[in-house]
Structures are given as C-alpha cells and as structure tokens.
C-alpha cells in the first residue's frame, strides 16, 4: 500500500470515528430532550356577547391565545397556559394577560396599559347565539356573557 492508500485509509477511519461520535452525541441529546406532551382541550371561535364584548379564541392542545374587547372599558390580551375540558361542551382555562384600559373608562384611570402578566381564569360553553357562553375573571372582576353573534367550539 502506497502513501496515497495509507492516507485514504486514515481519512476513512477519521470519517467513521466522526460519524460514530455524532451518532452517540445525537442519542444523548435525544434522551435528554424534554418529552413534548399535548394535552388539554382546544377552544376556537369568536364573536360578540350580549354585553357587547368581542372575543376570540385560538387555543389548541391546552395552550394558545384569548382576546376580549370590552368597548369603553378595556381590552384583555391573554396567553392561555392550561385548559380543562369539563364535559358537555364546557371548558375552563387560565393563564396570564395584559389589560389595556380604554379612553374615558368608568374607572377614571388613564387610557393605556394597566397591568401586564396578570393571572386570569375563564370558562367557555360551546355554541352559537343563545347557547354559547364565555366568562372571564380577572383582577377581581367578572365578565360573563352569552354569545349573540359568532360561535365557540370546544374539542379535545
């Protein structure tokens, strides 16, 4: 075997060693990675309630977003972190939200961001006008409403 043959053999051994090391490191990385768990209900839809509140749900596998606009009062932009399907087309959920006050709000406070990262709880009942419901509880206040326009869907 000449010099060129010995050099190619060393290259092959180095390449095989690098590939073996890469495979072992990949296996360690995979075993150390957290297991992704889906779970929780999904809530989708949007509309208007009998209190003129406008709402929207984009929650899938137990997490997502919920927005609630109460004209003349405030806007709640929420990150949903936990959803529990109660059964019968009902779900409860919670997370953290940003509350922004409207101009000329009844609190007499200046318009703009009021709270960031505040905890909320809420519930939803699947359905459309006359049957769908949402109820937001935040900062010691309760904002229930029945759907008059739109639709709420709850699934697992």
CA distance 107 to 90: 32
Residues whose CB is less than 8 angstroms from the CB of residue 111 and which lie 6 or more positions away in sequence, other chains included: 100, 101, 102, 103, 104, 105
Residue 8 is predicted with a pLDDT of 56
CA distance 75 to 52: 13
Residue 26 is predicted with a pLDDT of 34
Burial of 110 (0-12, 13-18, 19+ CB in 10 A): exposed
Query: Look-up: residue for tokens 């049957």?
Result: 131
Sites in the chain below the pLDDT cut of 70: 1-39
Q: How many CB atoms lie within 10 A of CB 4?
A: 8
Is the Cβ–Cβ distance between 19 and 62 less than 8 Å? no
* pLDDT tens per residue across span 26-51: 333 333 333 333 467 899 999 999 99
The model's pTM is 0.72
Is the Cβ–Cβ distance between 95 and 81 less than 8 Å? yes
């Amino acid at each position: 075997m000449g010099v060129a043959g010995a050099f190619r053999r060393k290259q092959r051994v180095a390449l095989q060693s690098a590939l073996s090391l890469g495979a072992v490191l990949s296996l360690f990385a995979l075993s150390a990675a957290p297991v992704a768990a889906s779970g929780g209900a999904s809530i989708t839809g949007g509309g208007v309630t009998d209190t003129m509140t406008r709402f929207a749900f984009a929650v899938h596998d137990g997490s997502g977003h919920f927005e609630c606009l109460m004209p003349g009062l405030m806007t709640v932009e929420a990150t949903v972190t936990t959803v529990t399907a109660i059964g019968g087309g009902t779900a409860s959920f919670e997370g953290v939200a940003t509350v922004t006050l409207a101009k000329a709000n009844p609190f007499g406070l200046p318009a703009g961001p009021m709270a960031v990262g505040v905890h909320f709880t809420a519930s939803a009942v699947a359905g459309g006008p006359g049957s769908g419901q949402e109820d937001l509880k935040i900062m010691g206040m309760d904002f229930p409403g029945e759907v008059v326009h739109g639709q709420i869907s709850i699934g697992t």
